[in-house]
A and B are shown apart, each in its own frame.
Chain A
Amino acid sequence: MSKAYSSHTEKIDVEYVAHLARIKLNEEERERFQAQLEEILGYVDQLKTLNVEGVDPMAHPFPIQNVFREDKTCPSLDHEVAMKNAPQKRNGHFMVPKIVE
């Protein structure tokens, strides 16, 4: 794969990013993602060189605003249906490994 964009100047901490996403990477993946992520950041660097003076930042590509719902209840899922995918359940609850704060 040819490099389309110049590499990012700062080295990205792939280990940290993987931790935030709660995924485990092996050595080969770490190296592969290191290169790919740096390439992505390089592209962002390239975007940063564009002159965007007078352009408002936008949170959304669509020019749509004020999408509301009226405050009226609709039936929720059947309890049994809602719990169907739960790997473990007890007394109507989803059961997970003990959470330590």
Chain B
Amino acid sequence: MNYKVTIGLETHVQLKTNTKVWCSCANVYGHPPNTDICLICLGYPGSLPVLNKEAVRLTVMTGLMLGCNINTYSKFDRKSYFYPDMPKNYQISQYDKPFCEGGGVEIDVDGDRKRVSLTRIHLEEDVGKNIHHESASLIDFNRAGTPLMEIVTEPDMESADEVFAYLLALKQILTYGAVSDCNLEQGNIRCDVNCSVRPADQKELGTKTEIKNMNTFKGVYRALKHEIQRQIDVVEKGGVIHQEARRWDDLAGVTTAMRPKEYAHDYRYLPDPDLMSVVLSDEQVSKWREALPELPAARRSRLVAEYNIPEYDAKVLAADKAIADYYEEAARLSDHPKVVSNWIMTEVLRALSEHDRGIQQIKISPQYLVDLVKLVDDKTINMPSAKEVFNQMFETGENPSTIVEHKGLVQVSDTDAIDALIVQVLEEHPQSVGDYRNGKKNAAQFLVGQVMRLSKGKANPQIAMEAIQKKLNS
């Protein structure tokens, strides 16, 4: 039987502010435990939270980037539950008046475009971090009170691939807007995934399960692939899906039911009397709207239009704002923006990933990359030499001309010099010469390789190839 899958996401994003949302403790990752805490984020009786203005701006900016309606009136509510990582025994969140409602995220799965609708975006506080030991649990409250934005989608996605594309697109936009560092290793983005299946001819949705607290995109993808199949298997066997929270076990590659909480979901929201409501003026919102950064989709179109590069290149380059910035700096200096794009998409990205570095740490200046492209273009060096030069530039950040000079890599395009090498190669490899004459044309490749070897990589391979073919065909 065919099944339809319905998926909705709640994505929690830590905002990039200097301080926490209700107090002036630093919002940083990696400090020693319980050193960024105060009476407010520890929930001491009598302490009063005061809203961080920057957290409001970043939440509203996100709403504007995602095409949401911005509510002029918003307020904060208490969500009550008991858990040791929540010192107040309630979490301050937004219940019925969030900052943003509606909006959407454009996704593209292998050329199929669609828009994932958003329900709302609200601002709340993150909780502390638990470390579970054999006999006890330890709590670090440094994270408690970190401004946390929750982005809720409609049940709009129909496959793990769409969810993956949604998360990537969302992360790109949030990074472009400098709203969050979006560092997954540091838990900047975490999501809960709601998923149900139903026979294709059935109208009403199946019972959904919720996979809690996912912190990698790959994990979300794998968990969904597994959970969708698990639900289909249950239905096929005539079983019943229970509405429940499930946990993804990354090592075992399975989801398992979490122990159902007694009286779950009785959060008893009530307006927080400690916090005043927020009224945003139209002027304020338009001011923020005017300050919106260029978003990934606009960047892609502009890269195609301005530098005449293929859509594919634009997509790869614009995926990371910093890479796109680097590319544009170089492309503006070059007569060959497409060749610059090739270098970045292949050598630069490869070298960065091999050295586990970001483009921010690259030592090669855009000008030097352009100079390297030019050295190849005017045939001063050949491609293999250029790659050698590139690797050294990547290590040291040196000027490519200096490296070419030091290593003596200037390409030999002098036909007499190359001819002399060819004579030697043909003498040494009669077998390949015979192969070529008997129709094995790719024997010429081997012979060119030998010429390159003799020239220590400096011969112009095109000239060598032409000369060899000319000799053997005569």
Known: A69-B24, A77-B38. A94 touches B139 (CB 8 A): yes
Is A95 at the interface (CB under 8 A from chain B)? yes
- B139: which of A19, A79, A93 is its contact (CB, 8 Å)? A93
**Are the CB atoms of B137 and A83 closer together than 8 Å?**
no
**Are the CB atoms of B51 and A68 closer together than 8 Å?**
yes
Which residues of chain B from 38 to 75 have any CB-CB distance to chain A below 8 Å in the complex? Answer: 38-39, 42, 50-56, 75
**Are the CB atoms of B258 and A96 closer together than 8 Å?**
no
With a cutoff of 8 Å between Cβ atoms, the chain A residues found around residue B19 in the complex are 69, 71-74
Q: Shortest distance in angstroms between A16's beta carbon and chain B's nearest beta carbon?
A: 7
Is B259 at the interface (CB under 8 A from chain A)? yes
Report the contact-size class of chain B (Cβ under 8 Å from the partner): 35 or more
Complex formed: what's the CA distance from A66 to B275 in Å? 9
Q: Shortest distance in angstroms between B45's beta carbon and chain A's nearest beta carbon?
A: 12
Complex formed: what's the CA distance from A94 to B83 in Å? 13
Is A10 at the interface (CB under 8 A from chain B)? no
Is B133 at the interface (CB under 8 A from chain A)? yes
- Convert B336-347 into 0s and 1s, putting 1 for each residue whose CB lies closer than 8 angstroms to a CB of A: 000000000000
With a cutoff of 8 Å between Cβ atoms, the chain B residues found around residue A27 in the complex are none
Complex formed: what's the CA distance from A69 to B147 in Å? 13
Complex formed: what's the CA distance from A99 to B55 in Å? 31
Complex formed: what's the CA distance from A66 to B55 in Å? 13
- A73: which of B18, B53, B138, B271 is its contact (CB, 8 Å)? B18
Report the contact-size class of chain A (Cβ under 8 Å from the partner): 35 or more
Main secondary structure of the interface of B (DSSP, over half): loop
With a cutoff of 8 Å between Cβ atoms, the chain B residues found around residue A19 in the complex are 262-263
Known: A60-B273, A73-B25, A79-B34. A98 touches B135 (CB 8 A): yes
**Are the CB atoms of B263 and A59 closer together than 8 Å?**
no
Q: Shortest distance in angstroms between A34's beta carbon and chain B's nearest beta carbon?
A: 19
With a cutoff of 8 Å between Cβ atoms, the chain A residues found around residue B278 in the complex are 65-66
Q: Shortest distance in angstroms between A74's beta carbon and chain B's nearest beta carbon?
A: 4
A residues contacting B by CB (< 8 A) are 16, 19-20, 22, 59-60, 62, 64-74, 76-77, 79, 82-83, 88, 90-101
A sample of 29 cross-chain residue pairs with beta-carbon separation below 8 angstroms, ordered by A number, consists of: A59-B75, A60-B271, A60-B277, A65-B276, A66-B279, A67-B51, A68-B50, A68-B52, A69-B19, A69-B51, A71-B52, A72-B18, A79-B32, A82-B38, A83-B34, A88-B136, A91-B33, A92-B33, A92-B140, A93-B33, A93-B138, A94-B84, A94-B139, A95-B137, A95-B138, A98-B135, A98-B137, A99-B132, A101-B247
10 shortest interchain CB distances as A-B pairs: A93-B138, A74-B24, A71-B54, A59-B271, A68-B53, A69-B50, A92-B33, A99-B137, A94-B139, A67-B276
B residues contacting A by CB (< 8 A) are 17-19, 24-26, 32-39, 42, 50-56, 75, 80, 82-84, 97, 130-141, 247, 258-259, 262-263, 266, 268, 271, 273, 275-279
